[in-house]
Amino acid sequence: MFGRFCSGLYGAYGWGGIGMGIFIVTVAVLVVVVLVRLLDTNRNRISSTETALEILEKRYAKGEISKDEFDKIKNDLTK
């Protein structure tokens, strides 16, 4: 008699069991995504001890700005 209630394609829990499984997997994926974003945000922060000129020099060294842009910004900073 008990077998009649537990048999079937989705087992004893039916659609509720499948829904709960999908919910748990979704929550786990969301937790991982949030943690990765938090860690990435902390990695990209600029140290508060750097001066504006040091940041400018780093940007120029990385090739993010041209020599003309560097000179113009440097002049603006030193005024």
Question: Rounded to whole angstroms, how far apart are CA atoms 74 and 79?
Answer: 9
Question: What are 21-74's pLDDT values in tens digits?
Answer: 889 999 999 999 999 888 876 665 655 678 889 999 999 999 999 999 999 999
Whether this model's pTM surpasses 0.85: no
